Amino acid sequence: MVTKYGMSKAVGIVSHNYDDNGKSMSTETRQLIETEVRDFLERAYGNAKTILTTHQKELHALAKALLEHETLSGNQIKALLAQVNSQSKSLSATPQKSAAPTPPPPSPPSTAASAAAAAAAAAAAAAAAAAKGQGVAQPVGS
């Protein structure tokens, strides 16, 4: 972006050959290009971190769904994100008590946790079978 497309105000609208790691240009120009690239990367990192922090609930829900299903279609992702966002809005719309909240009672393992445990057991069985040189994992319990 900086060396080929002129997307830096400091470097300007010029094209620089950086294929030789900057050996064909002056030290000042090379340092300017490297500074501009570093600035672009730092801004992009900051933007990505802000987005991920802002949408942390969606990120965790999506990661959990991917761990369970491995692949998701676009429609599944849209439905999941809509569900997470609607839950967040309904929680923020309910009035909060001024007294200290009581913690909820412990809940039994969810279906998702059970599915994750089953997937982990299947993965362990497959790894054990592969380690024995069988190549194909046999169903657990057979």
Kindly report, residue by residue over 92-135, the tens digit of the pLDDT: 666 555 544 554 444 444 445 555 555 555 555 555 554 444 34
Per-residue DSSP letter, 39: H
Q: Is residue 133 part of a domain?
A: no
* Count of structural domains, the chain: 1
Instruction: Report the alpha-carbon distance of residue 39 to residue 44 in Å, rounded.
Output: 9
Instruction: Report the alpha-carbon distance of residue 114 to residue 97 in Å, rounded.
Output: 33
Q: Is residue 13 part of a domain?
A: no
Q: Is residue 111 part of a domain?
A: no
Q: Is residue 14 part of a domain?
A: no
25, with CB counted inside 10 A (0-12, 13-18, 19+), is: middle
Q: Is residue 1 part of a domain?
A: no
Instruction: Report the alpha-carbon distance of residue 29 to residue 5 in Å, rounded.
Output: 16
Q: Is residue 68 part of a domain?
A: yes
Q: Look up the pTM and report it.
A: 0.51
Q: Is residue 21 part of a domain?
A: no
Residue 25 main-chain phi, psi, to 5 deg: -125, 170
Q: Is residue 11 part of a domain?
A: no
60 is in which domain, residue-wise?
A: 27-91
pLDDT band at residue 11 using 50, 70 and 90 as cut-offs:
confident
Per-residue pLDDT tens over the stretch 13-52: 777 776 777 677 888 988 998 899 999 999 999 999 999 9
